[in-house]
Amino acid sequence: MASEPLLELRDIEAGYGRAALVLRGLTVQVPAASVVCLVGPNGAGKSTVLKVASGMLAPRSGRILLDGTDITGRRPQQMLAAGLSHVLQGHSVFPEMSVAENVLLGAYTLREKSRVAERVEFVKDLFPVVAQRWQSLAGALSGGQQKQVEFARSLMVSPRVVLLDEPSMGLDPKATETVFTQVARMREAGTAVLLVEQNARRALETADLGCVLDLGRVHLSGPAADLLADDRLGQLYLGNHRAGTS
């Protein structure tokens, strides 16, 4: 890659407690305003990459660089302040609170009211359903709509990179389509996205770049379109079957 990536995880080794390493010398780069997708088998370490990037899990070695600044070892709150916002796997809206309250939870670190108002307008514009259902109880929204509330909440702090863990999990095909459209809109709005997805084909269709993880390392990486056309990847993860093979 010619220019400096916005986010780089370089030679990361990480694991949980005393258990064996999960990430074993992994390097991932996220250019500005791009979508980078991590795909790979269950247990390859995809979610762990996002946890390292957001400070939930400290790497045992390696460096995390954001816009050239070494932010390795910072805690989640500091990572958020630096510009890394993590949307966790599963649902994290509070169903008994309104959409507005859920979104505004993402703004608790913002001091200026005018800035909060500006960001509210921004996310309402980006996610029309958030604007339409602003006063509704979040629990009354569909799963796909709730995911958009989570996206809106994550964007309140104007992150440089949003870390999305399996945003289409549990959604029907129509809601899944909306989620991927919204991921593309985040990029158009200038936010880089590091995306983990089981729905590898659809995710790579949205992404600019892809990384295939296996056993805690990047096994294959490149333009998402090239990975989609790569037969090895196709047969392993994308459900491609050539005539004569099964």
Ligand X SMILES: Nc1ncnc2c1ncn2[C@@H]1O[C@H](COP(=O)(O)OP(=O)(O)OP(=O)(O)O)[C@@H](O)[C@H]1O
Residue of 4, 16, 128, 223 that binds ligand X (CB under 6 A) = 16
Q: Which residue, 157 or 196, is less far from ligand X as judged by CB?
A: 196
We find the least distance from the C-beta atom of residue 225 to ligand X, in angstroms, to be 23
Determine if 199 is a binding residue for ligand X (CB under 6 A).
no
Partnered with residue 37 across adjacent β-strands are 195, 210
Q: Which residue, 43 or 73, is less far from ligand X as judged by CB?
A: 43
46 Cβ contact list (under 8 Å, min separation 6): 38, 39, 40, 165, 196, 213
Cβ–Cβ contacts within 10 Å for residue 135, how many?
9
Relative to beta strand 35-39, strand 61-66 is unpaired
Determine if 187 is a binding residue for ligand X (CB under 6 A).
no
We find the least distance from the C-beta atom of residue 45 to ligand X, in angstroms, to be 4
Of 21-80, binders to ligand X (CB under 6 A) are 22, 40, 42-48
Q: Which residue, 16 or 232, is less far from ligand X as judged by CB?
A: 16
Number of residues that bind ligand X (CB under 6 A): 11
Q: Which residue, 48 or 221, is less far from ligand X as judged by CB?
A: 48
We find the least distance from the C-beta atom of residue 97 to ligand X, in angstroms, to be 27
Q: Which residue, 107 or 193, is less far from ligand X as judged by CB?
A: 193
Determine if 167 is a binding residue for ligand X (CB under 6 A).
no
Determine if 85 is a binding residue for ligand X (CB under 6 A).
no
Q: Is 112 exposed, middle or buried (0-12, 13-18, 19+ CB in 10 A)?
A: exposed
Q: Which residue, 197 or 208, is less far from ligand X as judged by CB?
A: 197
We find the least distance from the C-beta atom of residue 128 to ligand X, in angstroms, to be 30
Q: Which residue, 37 or 107, is less far from ligand X as judged by CB?
A: 37
Torsion of CA 34, 40, 46, 49, to 10 degrees: -60
State the greatest distance between any 2 C-alpha atoms of the chain, in Å, as a whole number.
Answer: 63
We find the least distance from the C-beta atom of residue 54 to ligand X, in angstroms, to be 13
Determine if 147 is a binding residue for ligand X (CB under 6 A).
no
- Give the closest residue to 122 by CA, choosing from 148, 93, 97, 156: 156
Would you say 219 and 213 are in contact if contact means Cβ atoms under 8 Å apart?
Answer: yes
We find the least distance from the C-beta atom of residue 38 to ligand X, in angstroms, to be 8
Determine if 98 is a binding residue for ligand X (CB under 6 A).
no
Alpha-carbon distances of 136 from 33, 95, 104, rounded to whole Å: 32, 10, 14
Provide the angle, in degrees to the nearest 10, between the axes of the packed helices 113-126 and 143-155: 140
We find the least distance from the C-beta atom of residue 181 to ligand X, in angstroms, to be 23
3: number of CA atoms within 13 Å, CB side?
9
Binding site for ligand X (CB under 6 A): 16, 19, 22, 40, 42-48
